[in-house]
Each structure stands twice: as C-alpha cells, then as structure tokens.
Structure 1
Amino acid sequence: MIAAVRSTVFRGQLRSQLRCFAYVPPTFSTPEKVAIIGSGSFGSAAALSVARNAARFDFCDSEVRMYTFEEEITVGDGVVSFPETEKLSRIINKKHENPKYLPGVKLPDNLVSCPDLLTACLDATLLIFVMPFQFLKPLLPTVRKVMDPEARGVSLIKEVHFDEETLGVKLISKQIQDGLSFKKETDGRDRKFPCGVLMGANIASEIANGDFSESTLATRFRVNEEGDDLNEKTRIVLNNTESFRVYSIRDVEGCEACGALKNVIAIGAGFVDGLGMGSNTKAALMRIGIQEMERFCNDFLDGVEPSTFSESCGMADLITTCVGGRNRKCGEIFAKAVINGAPLSWDSIEEDHLNGQRLRGVKTTKQVHELLQSQDLLRLYPLFSKIYSIAYDGEPVDSIIDGLYIPNEVIMTKNGSNRVEIEEVTTTA
C-alpha cells in the first residue's frame, strides 16, 4: 500500500516537472499582432493558446483581438441570478468567458472581443480564420483594408468547396488568399496574401480543458526581409508545449482536404453508432474511409504527400471525429430517427442539437458526391457514395455495410496486375 502511494506521488511529481519545463522561443526581429476572426467553440479554444503566448513572448503584441459576431445572450438561471440579456462581446470582455460556445472556460484577460471587424483586424500581421466561409467571404474586403500590408493567415476552417465550372476542388485557404491579395500602391505589383491551415484531432472543449492534443500546421511562408522564418514563427504563436502541440508540414492542400473529408466519414460513423454496431465495424469504416480520403486527394489535388495522412490532420483527426465529433453525433441522431420511423431533416438536427454551430459534414457529403458523379468515379468510392445515399436518397441505414469494401479496380491498380488474390465483394441490390 505504501509503495503504491509512493509510486503515485512520484508519477505526479514527474508529470508536474515535465509540464513545467521552461521553453525559450527563437528570437524574431519583427513584431507580431494577432487577430482571430471568429469566436465559436473552436475559435475561443484556439484563442486560449494564442492569447497566452502573445502575453508571454516579447515579439508579440500582448493584446489579441477576436472578431465576434454580435449576439444577444441571456445570462442568469433564474434561481441564483436574475436572467438578463446582454451582448456576447460585452460578456466575453467583462467575464472573460464565452457562455454560448465555450461555457465555463476562463479566457485570458488580454483576449479582447471586438464586434467591429475593422477594429479587430487593424494592423494585424497574423490573421487566424475560424468561422464558416459563407460568413467570412463577405468580410474579406474589409479585412484587406485594415490589415498590415505584409500580413499572412492561417485557416482553421474545415470545409472544401467545389467549382461547378472546372469540376475541381476549391480550397478555402486559396479563396482567402485570393480575397486578401492586392496591388501595391508603391510599385503597382501584385501582393499575394499567403495562407496556411491548421487541422488536427482537436475537439474544442477538450482543448479548453487542457487535455493534451496535437495539431498539424501546413504552411509555405517565406523568410521575411528581416530574416524571420514565418513558418516557425506562426507555429510558435499557435503552439502550447504543455497541452497543444503543433507540428509543421508543407502540404497545405492535403492537410486542408483531410480536415473537410473526415466529416463525411464521421457521418457514416454516426450511422454505425445509431445501428448499435460495435468497434469492429467502426474500425473498418475508418480504415476504408482514410483510403477514400487519400484517393480523393490524389484524384483532385496536386502535390499531396502520402505522409500527411498519418499526421494529426489525417488519421488522428478522423479517429477523434468518428468517436466524439458533432458530425458523428448528428449522424447517430439521424440514424436512430429513421430506424424509429420518425425521420428528421438535417436542418432540424443542426438547429436542435448544435447550439448555433454548423453541421459541415452533410454539405461536404453532397458536394463530394456531385463531383465524383460528374467525373464518373462513384464506383471507386463506395463508402462516400453509400453515406450520400443514406443521407439524401433515403436508402436504409443498415446498408452502410454495403459501402465497407475496397473496389477490385482500386486494389489491382494499387498492387499491380500480377496480384492473384483480390477482394471479392457481393453487394445487395
């Protein structure tokens, strides 16, 4: 008994020592002013590390501004305190908490909520985008007017769009880049706004609680005129050595596509949970899902690195989303409603269960299906296709099993024509 207690105490002391080691960042010549555009659950969680680092590092302006879409929030439970309506930005600045999207979490004092976009982005050198792109796009001209001329950005938006004219993938980071690029007044040359992405196995509430997690930062920033490595500088601003480890890669395209495509597979994981199936089925769905994600990236994007899919933005994010994400949750609600004979629309599920957050997986499911269909590639993506058919065409939820296979054509292409044993699959009509 005494030995067990000593062992427990020792482990606690060791953990404390490991978590409290001093970290000295590289020295940078140019000052950094950070603005966060978006104040939802993940935006507020990301702001924790960013604001703490800004207060800590000499090269950062200590004040971090967070653009907040203004909402009227009712505070007070009617028992302990009298209910009253107050603006969300005022609550964040007064109580240092986001009661709607990240309740119960203390936000740093140097994080300032700004309902005015001009104020939030004025002279910002690093812009962190974390709001649905449909709401962000109209704001980009305003951001361009007031940001620092040498500003760069990082997108945390887990979406992809599809171009109906070119039948290709439109990355959000590329659309942000296009929206914030401008012509320099000094010499008339075009200044392309550089934008990377941050994707990973990152559930906002767990990050806010200090649970350890990793994330993948994909950037191809340059070294500036003063000699600062902007890739490493960006990583350090986002990184928390104790609980939010950020690792750098250069594959922006693959990293960003993973962040969106895994939401489709998570919808399927919700179907599996709604059916009451176990870990074996979900493991098969995730294995086949990551392969379809990689195949999709190789079919529609250039320069995607195979190693990206083993980063946090790849397999780790897929696992987390299929276990605890909002897309999995809503997929389960949808499946159970269908099984019980009272189907629900995706819009009603989003409205009733996500507290103002967006359900991105079903929209991406539809867009992926339309793109694959336009290229006559549906036969090579049975899981993507089956998730769409259940979500939109009314196919039975238990037909998800019919999508859990690798097509023979894919196996033969991957392994060469000399392979003797290939997967034979019988599907139901």
Structure 2
Amino acid sequence: MKISLLGGGSWGTAIARLLKFKGHEINFYIRDKKVVEDINKNHRNSKYLPQVDLGELIATNNIREAISNIEMLVLGVPTNSIRPLLSEIKPDINEDTIIVNLAKGIEVDTLERVSEIVEDILPNNVFVSLSGPSHAEEVAKDIPTAVTVSSKNHQIAKKVQEAFATENFRVYTNDDLIGVEISGSLKNVIALAAGMCDGLGFGDNTKAALATRGIYEISKLGLALGANPHTFNGLAGIGDLIVTCTSMYSRNRRAGILIGEGHTVDEVNKKIGQVVEGIKTTKSAYALSKKYNVIMPITEKLYQVLYEGFNPRIAVSSLMTRAYKEEIEEIFLE
C-alpha cells in the first residue's frame, strides 16, 4: 500500500520502520528538518529513537508531497495537534483514504476522542485506532508485541490488521472503538500516578493497588460512554496499563516519577523532551468524570496535583484513607 505517516517521534518512527520493512511505500512526514536530515543521511532518528537502524526509510518535511495519492494516512502526532493538522490538509485527503491513529489521548478543549475529532473534519473517511502494550523502543527492535485495531468498519479494521501485522507484531481486531480509545487514553493518567508513587519512594504494593483500582476507574468512565466491559480486560485495557505503569520506556511513568520527586509540570515536560499525553489527558478525564458523574478518585487527586498544586504525598494519603467499601462493586452487572 501507499501509506503516509505524519509525525517523527519515537512511536511514529517505529511504525514507519515496521511498515517500510514490510514492503509498503511509505511517505514519512516530519516537521523538524534536522530529524529529516538525520534519517535520510544516517538512517537514524537520533533525537527520538537512537541506535535503531531505519534501513531505507526516507523522510520529508514537505507535507503536500507526503500525502499525495495515498491509500492510508497514519497519524503519529500528539492528540491535541491532530485537529489543526487535519484541518490544514483536509482539501488534499481523498474520501477513500483510511485514517489510522497511533496517539492516545482526549482533546482538552472539546473532550473528544481522536475518532470524534477525525469525524468532525473528515466525516466520510473510515477511522481506525491502533492501541495496546507497545513501546516504540521494543517494536523498533522487532521484539514480539501484540496490539489491537478498532474501527466502526470491521472490514477496514481487517485490512489494517493485514497491513501492519508481521511475525513480531501481532495485530488483533476489536469492534469496541470507544473502549479501545478510552483505555489507551486513560492508562496514561494511571501511569502518571504510578510513577508519582515511585517518585515518592513507595513500593510495588502501592503500584499494584493503584493499577488495579485504576483499571476500575477507566472501565467506569468507559461504560458511561458506551464501551464494552470486556475491552478493559484486553490488550488495550489491562495490557497497556501494565506495560505503561511498570516500564521506564514509558514517558508517563517517568514524568510521574519526576512529579513525585517534587518537579513542576513545566520542568517535567522539559526533562522528558517529548509530549507526555497523560498530563493533558488528566485534565480531560477529570472533566469527563464531572460531565458524566463518574467517581474517579485517582484521576481527581492527580488532577489536583498537576493543576492545583496539591502535595503528591498528601494525595496518596487521602486515597488510602477514603471511606471503607466493598472491593467488588457492581459495575459490570449494572
């Protein structure tokens, strides 16, 4: 297939490499001219994915050239950059072009998932979300990985599955687009909180409790939006949550560690050097919890830490001393 991939961060680069090595024709758009030159000259993305051989992958900073006569458009840019980017290139996108999204987040201003943003701008194009436990650093090294793709159009999801799958990159399909997008977005919020616990010097017990209650929070909001409860037990749900809460590859976990150590959000963003989706998604998730009247204590406390200057240690203490309750609540029976 002729595929355009927009965005030269670590994840976008890993997927561009995967698709190129599989034999697709890849138009790889990156805004940063220095990164483009590095890829084309040295076959490396030294800024975002160093020490990974990109083979014959070629990049460009000419977006019109990148999106010309393509069959599939893969979005590898941060969630809050998608609307302005698509608005810019909308006149050049054919209605038959499949839109595949790699980002995991919820737009702050509108509280829309990426599928809803794309539908606003390109209502006639089929949208597919790719999600699951998949660090770019491992995918780029061909370490076995499993993900899921989701769309309202099952046949197109199958087509994307076939386009992306390799012997080391196993792709499942899941028709629950809402659940897949909510899981992928909110796991970053819980990973931030897990990292914060690490930064505070807490242990594995704390992180395990937080992750377990975190998937419960994610599922509550997902069900309020119409998701399938089984999605939260799959790759996009518990799978992605595990890898993001435990790995140092996770930008969100690393950012959380810095917050727990006392750094400000501005300091964290500078130190990480790439977009930390969970920081903005915490704001979006908190707003959604209020909009749909869903109680999400972890999200609420993290929001207070990030946006209201609340002390992280007191935030964890307040979670531990909440009113006692039954563990197994009737969410899935409701």
**Normalising by the residue count of structure 2, what TM-score does the alignment of the two structures yield?**
0.91
**Equivalent position of 2:32 in the other structure:** 70
Distance 1:276 1:345 in 2: 18
Question: Given the alignment of the two structures, is residue 285 of structure 1 paired with residue 210 of structure 2, yes or no?
Answer: yes
Determine the structure 2 residue equivalent to 1:39: 8
Distance verdict in 2 for CA 1:136–1:415, change over 3 Å:
closer
Corresponding position: 1:257 with 2:182: yes
Change (3 A) 1:388 1:139: closer
| Cα-to-partner distance string for 1:95-127 (whole Å, 9 max, x where unaligned) | 221111111111131x32120111101111111
Equivalent in the alignment of 1:18? none
What does residue 115 of structure 2 align with?
A: 173
Gaps of 5+ in 1: 1-31, 56-61, 72-86, 182-191, 223-228, 338-343, 418-429
User: For residue 9 of structure 1, what is the aligned residue in structure 2?
Assistant: none
Q: Give matches, 1:312-327, under 5 Å.
A: 312-324=235-247, 325-327=250-252
Q: How is 1:223-242 mapped onto 2 (pairs within 5 angstroms)?
A: 229-241=155-167
Deviation at residue 198 of structure 1 after TM alignment: 0.4
Structure whose alpha-carbon radius of gyration is higher? 1
The answer to whether the 8 A contact 1:271-1:397 is kept is yes
Q: Please, which runs of 5 or more residues in structure 2 have no aligned partner?
A: none
In structure 2, give the amino acid aligned to 1:158. K
AA paired with 1:37? Answer: L
Percent of pairs with identical residues: 31
Following TM superposition, by how much is the alpha carbon of 1:401 offset from its aligned partner in structure 2, in angstroms? 4.1
How many angstroms does 1:375 deviate by?
A: 5.0
Partners of 2:28 and 2:293 in 1: how far apart?
44
Q: CA–CA distance in 1 between the matches of 2:25 and 2:4?
A: 9
Partner of 2:266: 347
Q: Is the contact made by 1:143 and 1:180 (CA closer than 8 Å) also made in structure 2? A: no
1:15-414 matches, cutoff 5 A: 32-53=1-22, 55=23, 62-71=24-33, 87-109=34-56, 111-161=57-107, 169-181=111-123, 192-221=124-153, 229-241=155-167, 243-299=168-224, 301-302=225-226, 304-324=227-247, 325-337=250-262, 344-351=263-270, 353-355=271-273, 357-374=274-291, 376-377=293-294, 380-399=295-314, 400-403=316-319, 408=325, 413-414=330-331
The offset of 1:39, in angstroms, is: 1.0
**SS of the residue 1:321 aligns to:** helix
CA contact (8 A) 2:108 2:280 kept: no
Counterpart-to-counterpart distance in 1, 2:309 and 2:156: 49
Q: Is the 8 A contact 2:223 2:229 kept in 1?
A: no
The structure that is helix-richer by fraction is 2
Please give the alpha-carbon distance, in whole angstroms, between the structure 1 residues aligned to 2:129 and 2:245. Answer: 21
Contact conserved, 1:271 with 1:334, CA < 8 A, in 2?
Answer: yes
CA contact (8 A) 1:125 1:147 kept: no
Deviation, structure 1 residue 275: 2.0
Quote the Cα distance in structure 2 between the aligned partners of 1:253 and 1:416.
19
Q: Which has the higher contact order (CA 8 A, sep 6+)?
A: 2
SS at match of 2:147: strand
1:308-333 CA deviation, whole Å, 9 max, x = no partner? 11221110111111112111111111
Q: What CA distance in whole angstroms lies between the structure 2 residues aligned with 1:396 and 1:143?
A: 43
SS at match of 2:128: strand
CA distance in 2, matches of 1:69, 1:401: 44
> 1: CA distance between counterparts of 2:324 and 2:222?
17
Asked if the contact 1:152–1:195 (Cα under 8 Å) also holds between the matched residues in 2, the reply is yes
**SS where residue 193 of structure 1 aligns?**
coil
Separation in 1 of the partners of 2:44 and 2:299? 39
Cα distance in 2 for residues equivalent to 1:154 and 1:238: 11
Paired letter, 2:44? E
- C-alpha separation between the residues in 2 aligned to 1:406 and 1:209? 46
Give me the whole-angstrom Cα distance separating, in 2, the residues matched to 1:413 and 1:406.
18
**C-alpha displacement at 1:287, in angstroms?**
0.5
